[in-house]
């Protein structure tokens, strides 16, 4: 990114980052009291928790942009666009009780701002808009960012706080900080959330499960598996003082829980299906030791290198890191649009004599389009690996470019 744009991005995202952990400032009562409340809260947490974590990670990419090349920031912006758009669509589809309408609205507003920022950076990175246009639009967004994200983070914190209290949140000591990342003890937290935890001391492997999720992880590995998908946290799971620890962000990746950090008390509140756990890091040991890897680069540098290496491999035609079923689905999605574009060009560049045939063809493509959109919606609801997310952005960008050329 050019220096002027990079500096402006840092100003904007810092305004966000300074407000994602603010104390609740609302007087709203978000306590779950009815079945309708419970249904909404479960659906909301599936959306808002992971989105909050995506915002945190995206802010790290932008505020530490000197660690990354332009492609990494552009691709991270593409992922943020997808996440923000998914939040907006999901919240629009949820039946929202009146008591949660302001929470819903504040979350959607934050998602819209995040989408606007990331789409500008994404389009600038791919040369679709000029530096001047990008800078102008980012400046226009600047006054809205701080109040919008403050309102969202405050409302989310209030929601979690109300329901932590109503559900007699358990407090677990022993959370620690490793290389700037909060780590929590696996057994204590997951068992408090209602999961079964099995530990194989010989293999240093834990299997965590309930009726909906199965998570398996091995101490020291750079990845773990959640419901069949490989997830790469920026700090690996590891044994510390004979206890297995996992980075906080991984809990939302694994089971869709919502997490909120309280900087004053140095605690983390975790909400999963109306069950709350508070992890106290103030009483745990704060350490800055390196994780058990051979690399001496920082976790963020390692994440950036992993991201860049996967993208470079995909760009060169090596798709081995992409989940085969995911690649097949994305290729089929792109093939449909290739056929649709060929159809449009065929009739655009010829004198149509058989309108009935043309209309029949068009109707067929519209039916296939509806199915393709539904298949894509289902695909986006699956948990993507980093490689899957990169391939998703690459394919959808190619499709958008082809459609833009058509019209």
Contact 9, 62 (CB under 8 A): yes
Helix residue ranges, H only, 274-323: 299-315
Residue 155 and residue 9 in one domain = yes
Domain count, the chain: 3
Question: How many Cα atoms are found within 13 Å in the side-chain-facing hemisphere of 364?
Answer: 11
Please give the Cα distance from 14 to 32 (Å, whole number).
Answer: 33
Which tens digit of pLDDT belongs to each residue from 33-61?
Answer: 677 877 888 788 878 878 887 887 777 67
Residue 68 and residue 134 in one domain = yes
Residue 149 and residue 179 in one domain = no
Q: Give Rg (Cα) of the chain.
A: 23
Please give the Cα distance from 94 to 396 (Å, whole number).
Answer: 26
Note whether residue 309 is domain-resident: no
- Domain containing 323 equals 317-406
Note whether residue 311 is domain-resident: no
Residue 203, both tokens = 């293999």
Query: Residue range 265-278: average pLDDT?
Result: 78
Query: Residue range 336-362: average pLDDT?
Result: 72
Note whether residue 282 is domain-resident: yes
Residue 107 and residue 200 in one domain = no
Residue 262 and residue 226 in one domain = yes
Residue 137 and residue 241 in one domain = no
CATH at 222: 3.30.457.10
Please give the Cα distance from 363 to 357 (Å, whole number).
Answer: 10
Which tens digit of pLDDT belongs to each residue from 306-335?
Answer: 566 777 788 888 888 888 888 888 888 888
Residue 245 and residue 199 in one domain = yes
- For residue 352, what pLDDT is reported? 56
Domain boundary among 239, 264, 296: 296
CATH at 15: 1.20.1420
Residue 17 and residue 149 in one domain = yes
Residue 52 and residue 130 in one domain = yes
CA distances, 94 to each of 89, 265, 271 (Å): 9, 33, 19
- Long-range contacts of the stretch 156-160 (C-beta < 8 A, 24+): 156/48, 156/52, 156/103, 156/107, 156/258, 156/260, 157/22, 157/23, 157/24, 157/260, 158/24, 158/26, 158/28, 158/30, 159/30, 159/41, 159/44, 159/103, 160/258, 160/260, 160/269, 160/271, 160/276
Note whether residue 355 is domain-resident: yes
Dihedral in degrees, nearest 10, Cα atoms 350, 352, 353, 358: 130
Note whether residue 302 is domain-resident: no
- For residue 387, what pLDDT is reported? 78
Note whether residue 88 is domain-resident: yes
Query: Residue range 93-100: average pLDDT?
Result: 88
Note whether residue 82 is domain-resident: yes
Residue 157 and residue 292 in one domain = no
Q: Sign of the CA dihedral 228, 233, 236, 239?
A: negative
> pTM for this one?
0.47
Residue 340 and residue 288 in one domain = no
Residue 324 and residue 184 in one domain = no
pLDDT value at 149 more than 80? yes
Report which listed range, 108-112, 273-277, 331-335, 370-374, is most confident.
Answer: 108-112
Note whether residue 400 is domain-resident: yes
Which tens digit of pLDDT belongs to each residue from 163-210?
Answer: 655 444 577 777 887 766 778 888 888 888 888 999 888 878 889 998
């Amino acid at each position: 990114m050019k220096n002027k744009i990079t500096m402006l991005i840092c100003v904007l995202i810092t305004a966000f980052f300074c407000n994602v952990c603010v104390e609740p400032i609302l007087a709203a009562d978000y306590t779950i009291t009815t079945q309708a409340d419970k249904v909404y809260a479960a659906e909301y947490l599936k959306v808002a928790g992971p989105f909050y974590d995506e915002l945190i990670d995206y802010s790290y990419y932008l505020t530490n942009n000197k660690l990354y090349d332009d492609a990494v920031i552009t691709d991270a912006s593409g992922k943020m666009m997808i996440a923000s758009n998914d939040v907006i669509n999901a919240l629009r589809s949820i039946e929202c009780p009146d008591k949660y309408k302001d929470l819903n609205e504040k979350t959607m507003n934050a998602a819209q701002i995040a989408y606007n920022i990331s789409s500008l950076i994404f389009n600038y990175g791919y040369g679709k808009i000029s530096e001047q246009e990008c800078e102008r639009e980012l400046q226009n967004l600047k006054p809205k960012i701080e109040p919008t994200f403050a309102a969202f983070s405050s409302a989310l914190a209030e929601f979690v706080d109300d329901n932590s209290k109503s559900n007699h949140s358990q407090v677990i000591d022993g959370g620690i900080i490793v290389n700037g990342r909060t780590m929590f003890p696996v057994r204590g937290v997951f068992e408090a959330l209602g999961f079964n935890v099995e530990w194989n001391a010989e293999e240093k492997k834990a299997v965590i499960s309930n009726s909906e999720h199965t998570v398996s992880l091995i101490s020291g590995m750079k990845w773990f598996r959640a419901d069949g998908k490989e997830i790469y946290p920026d700090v690996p799971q590891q044994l510390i003082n004979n206890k297995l620890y996992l980075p906080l962000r991984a809990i939302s990746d694994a089971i869709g829980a919502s997490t909120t950090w309280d900087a004053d008390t140095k605690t983390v509140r975790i909400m999963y299906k109306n069950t709350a756990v508070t992890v106290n890091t103030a009483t745990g040991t704060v350490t800055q030791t390196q994780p058990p890897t051979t690399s001496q680069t920082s976790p963020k540098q390692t994440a950036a290198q992993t991201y860049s290496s996967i993208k470079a491999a995909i760009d060169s035609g090596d798709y081995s890191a992409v989940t085969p079923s995911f690649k097949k689905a994305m290729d089929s999605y792109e093939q449909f649009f290739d056929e649709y574009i060929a159809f449009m060009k065929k009739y655009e560049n010829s004198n149509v004599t058989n309108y009935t045939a043309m209309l029949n063809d068009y109707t067929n493509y519209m039916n296939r389009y509806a199915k393709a959109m539904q298949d894509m919606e289902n695909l986006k609801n699956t948990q993507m690996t980093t490689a899957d997310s990169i391939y998703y952005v690459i394919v959808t960008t190619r499709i958008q470019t082809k459609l833009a050329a058509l019209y």
